Amino acid sequence: MDPILLFFLFGLAAGLLRAELRLPSAIYDFVSMLLLLSIGLKGGVELANQPFLSVLPDVLVAILMGIALPLMIYPVLRHVGRFKRPDAASIAAHYGSVSVGTFAVAVAWLATREIDYEAHLPLLLVVLEMPAILVGIVLARGLRAKMDWRSIGHEVFLGKGVVLLIGGLLIGWIAGPEGVAPIGPLFFDLFKGILAVFLLEMGLIAAAQASSLKRYGVFLLPFGTLVPVVFAGIGTGLGLLMGMSPGGTMLFAVLAASASYIAVPAAMRISVPQANPTLSLTASLGITFPFNVLVGIPLYWKFAEWAHGAG
């Protein structure tokens, strides 16, 4: 088993056993910042090598997917899960958006196996952070409600994740491969080590959801494991449609399957305050993140192989 996953399991176990282990929040902030910048930088460097306009159709596909996914599961949450409107809208937004941590694990998984993927996937990651937030807000409040677009815009476009990813992309793009080389030891060579520390903390955070999982798990457990698999299927189909390589297809499936826990919780807390954050975080952090990291990623690679007729 990949050591970074062992770090996650270690964090999970330590959290469940209530070990005296707590990463200072400044460390978590720093580590997640490094991950976001690394992913952005790597994408920017690669993007410098291809004409910018050629990625626009894929960006459009990503935006449409980001709008469609939350709309698909909202009725399920309302009628099968019997959630109140703001709760259903908030959970739908979490699942329509993406998880950078899951993406990073998938990138590391591919790197270990020396599988290539398209350079613009980090760009699609940024793009996919955003549409679901808007869909979630509209689902919760209705189209005609009076909205403070300025603060919503701030939440959507100036959240930590989006800003760091875009900053990294631009720096990588402007500096190019040679320009970035001197800072490579921190951002690229240490990537897996940083990811390991990040996953340790994620294990602790996921374990902290255990008590609410007992309370809400009856619906959320099947929901949080089935939705990513179905969404990964959709992502695989779209990846194939966009003519991506198996590696790219798998990463796009991971983007579809993952659920946000940075950008969306903050945006929903501000824009849909009636939604109970415990529900969406239990689902996205307590169930879907561990599922994707431990089971999903190898499974979505199988999807990509089948789709490309190589499996």
Q: Which of 132, 65, 102, 91 is nearest to 223 (CA)?
A: 91
Using the rule CB under 8 A, is 147 a contact of another protein? no
Of 23-31, 90-98, 102-110, 286-294, the window that binds another protein (rule: CB under 8 A) is 23-31
Rank residues 247 and 265 by Cβ distance to another protein and give the closer one.
Answer: 265
Q: Which of 151, 95, 155 is nearest to 128 (CA)?
A: 95
User: How is 173-223 classified by DSSP, letter by letter?
Assistant: HHHHHHHHGGGHIIIIITHHHHHHHHHHHHHHHHHHTHHHHHHHHHHHHHH
137 Rama class: left (phi>0) / alpha (psi -120 to 50) / beta: alpha
CB of 160 to another protein, least distance (A): 8
Q: Which is nearer to another protein, 266 or 299 (CB)?
A: 266
Q: Which is nearer to another protein, 262 or 297 (CB)?
A: 262
Report the residue number, 23 or 234, with the smaller CB distance to another protein.
23
The rounded distance, in Å, linking the Cα atoms of 85 and 74 is 9
35 class by beta-carbon count within 10 Å (0-12 exposed, 13-18 middle, 19+ buried): buried
Task: Determine the Cα–Cα distance for residues 183 and 201; give it in Å rounded to an integer.
Answer: 25
Among the listed residues 3, 13, 19, 22, the single contact to another protein using CB under 8 A? 22
Which residue, 155, 288, 142, is CA-closest to 217? 288
SS3 state of residue 245: coil
The binder of another protein chosen from 9, 23, 163, 299 (CB under 8 A): 23
From CA 50, how far away is CA 41, in angstroms rounded? 15
DSSP character at residue 242: T
Q: Which of residues 229-268 bind another protein (CB under 8 A)?
A: 261-262, 265-266
State yes or no: residue 25 binds another protein (CB under 8 A): yes
Tell me the window of 19-27, 133-141, 186-194, 292-300 that interacts with another protein (CB under 8 A).
19-27
Size of the residue set binding another protein (CB under 8 A) = 22
- For the bound state, the minimum distance from the C-beta of residue 57 to another protein, rounded and expressed in Å, comes to 33
Q: Which of 75, 222, 273, 311 binds another protein (CB under 8 A)?
A: 273
Q: Does 33 bind another protein (CB under 8 A)?
A: no
Min CB(28)–another protein separation in Å: 5
When the beta carbons of 281 and 304 are compared against another protein, the nearer one is 281
Query: Phi and psi (nearest 5°) for 50?
Result: -130, 155
Tokens representing residue 167 in the block: 């900053």
Asked whether the beta carbons of 235 and 256 are under 8 A apart, the reply is: yes
Residue 160: count other Cβ atoms within 10 Å of its Cβ: 14
CA–CA dist 93, 91 (Å, integer) = 5
Which of the residues 283 through 302 are near another protein (CB under 8 A)?
none
| Ranges within 186-215 binding another protein (CB under 8 A) | 201, 204-205, 208
Looking at the Cβ atoms of 107 and 264, the one nearer to another protein is 264
Looking at the Cβ atoms of 24 and 185, the one nearer to another protein is 24
Q: Which of residues 67-96 bind another protein (CB under 8 A)?
A: none
Contact positions toward another protein, by CB under 8 A?
22-23, 25, 28, 32, 151, 160, 201, 204-205, 208, 261-262, 265-266, 269-270, 273-274, 277-278, 281
